[in-house]
């Protein structure tokens, strides 16, 4: 499982030692239990790669280490240090005190005595390793979200929960003749008497694996098979209890699970855990990938976690609130909503401390209240739909709170959600003094809300083909992910503790976009934090391949930055508010002697009223002729379409920007090159054009002279002016002349 380090916590320098995250690919462990002596030992090997910064690797293990080997060489035990990287008491991690090169691959082997883990207490069903008459072993992983270092690291060396890897655990039990079995969500292979191997897939994280070992004569079990409605998967459901527990009815538990599991898949999405679900009905409640420990009263909640929390998983402990909060909201029926009340005090559900290792107990109460507020704002049905979308989009990697915020704001189109996350998820109060966030409209823009410059090609917005940190704009590529980036600036007196940038794309070149109708709902969004006065910060969001327009479609990109106490007024245009920006830029490569057709949209305010248009040409392209072409019909088989819809016309594929030869009509569009409204030659020219009421779909036709040298390039701007002569819209065409 390949993991990007964007989910990893930051490197930390403590006492001169730089601790850096690692990406573990596989953990191979042998746990050996001896009933005759009542002892146990562990032997684990980790394969890992160091992150983008050289330093000392971070991991955790809450057992007593007796030997450590790195790439086959024995290291002193003193080089395995326990350090607080910011999580506080109980949330310390292990740091191997040896500097490893960035990006280097290694193998670390640890031997250790196996006993009760040195982890903080907490949870209703704690970890255990104990012997009783027989001897009979009781070995319990006993995970909990409510105490630090209580996942896999309690027993097996592991990473923090952002990382995914395969886990192989070999189990050997000697010194007893009593039959035992593992209770687990892993795939079990029997290697011999009291000898098993348990495998967990490479999408596992430290909170995934459920494992117990119990004497068979202490257990009662029952199974059934359920076929899930979306995936068609036949799932074997096993319910287990202690044979001494007469209060638990396994038949009832199986009947309930046979109802709940299909309902979960139908509502949320595909079950991710293969062909098994294991429920150990013993005490408390804890979720695992495809299983749980529970009581009859908590079983439905824990089964739901195999979708929320263990299907799509939190990327860090600060993100652990949302699956508990959503599950409790679901437990309560998921059909009601209580409007947000901004008189309610702030509280923290998602701390900004990357090394925090505890889910707050308020996730169950304040978290449910938060989702109830979202439901009241958007409707319970919409919220359930959007959460299902989020689940299905985040099955390959763990998900952050920021990703959830971006998704809900983008889908709901409600700026108030940014304020709600600010106050009741991140725990920030109303800022005083207030920040003033903005995006440059052009290189000369200094932050004023009203800007009459070249606002249609913001230098603070760019698109990249990869999330590579580049800052040069690239024309979007169809059929693959692209990446939006925005540089947000703060010219106010206060810190922006939290802000969100929304990204929307209009598949046409428009010249008059207004807030919020053209900006929200959005394709996606990206959050940022702690933007100080006078500073800037770049945020990036994925533009999913499925939402990138086909080749040749013009994409006008709109962005808005929102933070508590700083948002545009309704009806504002890009040139009227610093929080709004657009990049209305088309990049075309055209041969000498050809013509380029760029469709765009303009709004008419009254039928027949003339709109003022201006063309601006750079000196290198001063001889390029330009005209505005009105909507036309295309003579093709089937229903007629107008010029803006050439992309959908079989005769005109593959481009809505059509490049044609010098003497040809435009893709057979039915008009000659002399049609339309021509602009005079020169660096700037203006013409008036009567427009119908509402949106008028037009095209800009550019003719590239044969005399221009190959390699000539520049940007041509088409401006729209109002009656007073003020620029109220524009689009840019970056032309590259080819031979």
Question: How does residue 711 score in pLDDT terms, banded at 50, 70 and 90?
Answer: very high
Question: How does residue 585 score in pLDDT terms, banded at 50, 70 and 90?
Answer: confident
From 241-255, 525-539, 677-691, the region with the lowest mean pLDDT: 677-691
Instruction: Assign domain 437-583 one CATH number from 2.60.40.350, 2.60.40.1120, 3.40.1160.10, 2.60.40.10.
Output: 2.60.40.10
Contact 355, 86 (CB under 8 A): yes
Which class is domain 5-209? mainly beta
| Mean predicted confidence (pLDDT) in 259-278 | 97
Question: How does residue 596 score in pLDDT terms, banded at 50, 70 and 90?
Answer: confident
| Mean predicted confidence (pLDDT) in 631-656 | 31
From 253-257, 399-403, 629-633, the region with the lowest mean pLDDT: 629-633
d(CA 559, CA 129): 55
Please check the confidence at residue 248 and state whether its pLDDT lies above 70: yes
Residue 93 CB contacts under 8 Å (≥ 6 apart), including other chains: 19, 58, 59, 60, 82, 83, 85, 87, 160, 355
If we measure between CA atoms, which residue out of 148, 174, 187 comes closest to residue 60? 148
| Mean predicted confidence (pLDDT) in 460-467 | 94
**Bridge-based pairing state of the strands 437-438 and 291-294:** unpaired
Please check the confidence at residue 488 and state whether its pLDDT lies above 70: yes
| Mean predicted confidence (pLDDT) in 351-369 | 97
d(CA 643, CA 614): 21
Neighbours of 341 (CB within 10 A): 8
From 180-194, 594-608, 633-647, the region with the lowest mean pLDDT: 633-647
DSSP state of 435: P
Domain ranges of the chain: 5-209, 218-304, 317-424, 437-583, 587-738
If we measure between CA atoms, which residue out of 518, 489, 490, 513 comes closest to residue 502? 518
d(CA 84, CA 95): 10
Question: How does residue 604 score in pLDDT terms, banded at 50, 70 and 90?
Answer: confident
Please check the confidence at residue 291 and state whether its pLDDT lies above 90: yes
pLDDT at res. 725: 83
d(CA 445, CA 476): 25
Phi, psi of 486 (to 5 degrees): -140, 135
pLDDT at res. 654: 27
pLDDT at res. 556: 82
Residue 158 CB contacts under 8 Å (≥ 6 apart), including other chains: 24, 27, 59, 60, 61, 151, 152, 206
Q: Report, in angstroms and rounded to the nearest whole number, the Rg of the chain calculated over CA atoms.
A: 31
Q: Which residue has the tokens 């989020």?
A: 390
Q: Which residue has the tokens 């295309």?
A: 634
pLDDT at res. 43: 98
Report which of residues 222 and 551 the model is more confident about.
222
**Bridge-based pairing state of the strands 585-591 and 727-738:** parallel
Cβ-count burial 471-487 (b if 16+ within 10 Å, e if not): eebeebeeeeebbbbbb
Please check the confidence at residue 513 and state whether its pLDDT lies above 90: no
Burial zone of 653 (CB within 10 Å; 0-12 exposed, 13-18 middle, 19+ buried):
middle
Neighbours of 16 (CB within 10 A): 5
pLDDT at res. 665: 37
pLDDT digits (tens, 9 = 90+) for 377-421: 999 999 999 999 999 999 999 999 999 999 999 999 999 999 999
| Mean predicted confidence (pLDDT) in 497-518 | 84
Please check the confidence at residue 670 and state whether its pLDDT lies above 50: no
Q: Which residue has the tokens 């005490």?
A: 283
pLDDT at res. 637: 33
**Sign of the CA dihedral running 149, 151, 155, 156:** negative
Instruction: Assign domain 218-304 one CATH number from 1.10.150.120, 3.30.2010.30, 3.90.1010.10, 3.40.50.800.
Output: 3.30.2010.30
Question: How does residue 632 score in pLDDT terms, banded at 50, 70 and 90?
Answer: very low
pLDDT at res. 465: 94
Question: How does residue 675 score in pLDDT terms, banded at 50, 70 and 90?
Answer: low
| Dihedral angle, C-alpha 618, 620, 625, 627, nearest 10 ° | -30
Please check the confidence at residue 578 and state whether its pLDDT lies above 60: yes
pLDDT at res. 692: 77
Contact 240, 322 (CB under 8 A): no
Domains 437-583 and 587-738 are alike in CATH topology: yes
Report which of residues 512 and 690 the model is more confident about.
690
Q: Which residue has the tokens 């290198």?
A: 620
Beta strand spans in 126-164 (E): 128-132, 136-140
Please check the confidence at residue 646 and state whether its pLDDT lies above 60: no
Fold classified for 587-738: Immunoglobulin-like (2.60.40)
pLDDT digits (tens, 9 = 90+) for 203-245: 999 999 999 999 999 999 999 999 999 999 999 999 999 999 9
| Mean predicted confidence (pLDDT) in 562-589 | 90
pLDDT digits (tens, 9 = 90+) for 298-357: 999 999 999 999 999 999 999 999 999 999 999 999 888 999 999 999 999 999 999 999
pLDDT at res. 721: 85
Taking all residues of the chain, what is their mean pLDDT, rounded to a whole number? 90
């Amino acid at each position: 499982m390949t993991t990007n380090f964007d989910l990893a916590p930051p490197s930390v320098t403590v006492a001169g030692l730089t601790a850096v995250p690692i990406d573990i690919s596989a953990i191979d462990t042998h746990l050996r239990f001896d009933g005759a002596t009542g002892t146990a030992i562990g032997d684990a090997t980790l394969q890992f790669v160091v992150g983008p910064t050289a330093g000392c690797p971070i991991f955790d293990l809450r057992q007593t280490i007796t030997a450590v080997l790195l790439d086959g060489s024995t290291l002193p035990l003193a080089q395995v240090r326990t350090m607080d990287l910011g999580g506080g008491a109980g949330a310390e991690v292990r740091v191997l005190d040896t500097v490893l090169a960035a990006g280097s691959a290694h193998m670390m082997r640890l031997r250790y005595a196996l006993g009760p883990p040195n982890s903080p207490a907490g949870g209703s069903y704690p970890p255990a390793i104990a012997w009783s008459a027989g001897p009979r072993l009781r070995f319990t992983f006993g995970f909990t979200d409510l105490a630090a270092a209580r996942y896999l690291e309690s027993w097996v060396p592991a990473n923090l929960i952002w990382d995914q890897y395969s886990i192989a655990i070999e189990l050997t039990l000697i010194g007893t003749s009593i039959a035992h079995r593992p209770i687990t969500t892993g795939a079990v292979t029997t290697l011999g008497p009291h000898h098993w191997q348990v495998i967990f897939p490479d999408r596992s994280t430290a909170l995934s694996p459920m494992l117990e070992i119990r004497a068979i004569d202490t257990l009662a079990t029952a199974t059934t098979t359920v076929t899930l409605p979306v995936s068609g998967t036949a799932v074997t459901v096993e319910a287990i209890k202690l044979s001494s527990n007469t209060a638990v009815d396994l038949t009832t538990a199986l009947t309930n699970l046979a109802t709940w599991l299909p309902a979960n898949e139908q509502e949320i999405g595909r079950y991710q855990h293969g062909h098994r679900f294991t429920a150990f009905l013993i005490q408390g409640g804890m979720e695992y990938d495809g299983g749980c420990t529970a009581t009859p009263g908590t079983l439905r909640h824990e089964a739901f976690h195999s979708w929320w929390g263990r299907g799509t998983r939190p990327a860090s402990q600060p993100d652990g609130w949302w699956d508990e909060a959503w599950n409790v909201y679901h437990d309560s029926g998921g059909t009601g909503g209580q409007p947000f009340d901004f008189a309610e005090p702030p509280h923290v559900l998602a701390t900004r401390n990357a090394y925090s290792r505890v889910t707050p107990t308020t996730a169950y109460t304040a978290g449910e209240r938060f989702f109830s507020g979202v439901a009241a704002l958007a409707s319970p049905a919409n919220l359930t739909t959007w959460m299902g979308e989020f689940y299905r989009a985040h099955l390959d990697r763990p998900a952050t709170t920021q990703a959830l915020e971006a998704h809900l704001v983008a889908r709901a189109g409600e700026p108030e959600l940014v304020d709600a996350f600010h106050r009741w998820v991140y725990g920030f109060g109303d800022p005083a003094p207030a920040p003033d966030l903005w995006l440059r409209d052009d290189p000369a823009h200094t932050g004023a809300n009203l800007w009459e410059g070249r606002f249609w090609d913001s230098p603070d917005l760019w698109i990249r083909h990869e999330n590579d940190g580049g800052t040069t704009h690239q024309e979007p590529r169809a059929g693959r992910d692209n990446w939006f980036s925005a540089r947000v600036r703060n010219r106010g007196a206060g810190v922006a503790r939290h802000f969100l940038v929304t990204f929307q794309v209009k598949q046409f070149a428009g010249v008059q976009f207004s807030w919020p109708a053209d900006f929200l709902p959005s394709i996606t969004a990206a959050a940022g934090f702690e933007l100080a006065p006078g500073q800037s910060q770049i945020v990036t969001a994925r533009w999913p391949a499925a939402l990138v327009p086909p080749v040749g479609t013009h994409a006008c990109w709109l962005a808005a930055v929102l933070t508590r106490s700083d948002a545009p007024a309704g009806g504002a245009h890009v040139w009227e508010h610093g929080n709004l920006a657009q990049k209305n830029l088309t990049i075309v490569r055209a041969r000498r002697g050809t013509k380029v057709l760029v469709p765009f949209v303009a709004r008419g305010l009254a039928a027949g009223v003339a709109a003022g248009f201006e063309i601006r040409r750079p000196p290198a392209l001063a001889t390029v002729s330009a005209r505005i072409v009105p909507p036309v019909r295309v003579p093709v088989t089937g229903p007629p379409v107008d010029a803006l819809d050439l992309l959908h016309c079989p005769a005109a594929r593959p481009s809505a920007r059509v490049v044609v030869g010098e003497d040809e009509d435009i893709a057979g569009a039915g008009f000659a090159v002399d049609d339309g409204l021509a602009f005079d030659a020169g660096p700037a020219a203006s013409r008036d054009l009567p427009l119908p009421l509402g949106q008028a779909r037009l095209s800009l036709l550019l003719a590239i002279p044969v005399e221009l040298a190959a390699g000539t390039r520049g940007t041509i701007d088409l401006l729209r002016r109002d009656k007073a002569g003020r620029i109220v819209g524009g689009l840019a065409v970056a032309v590259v002349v080819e031979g």
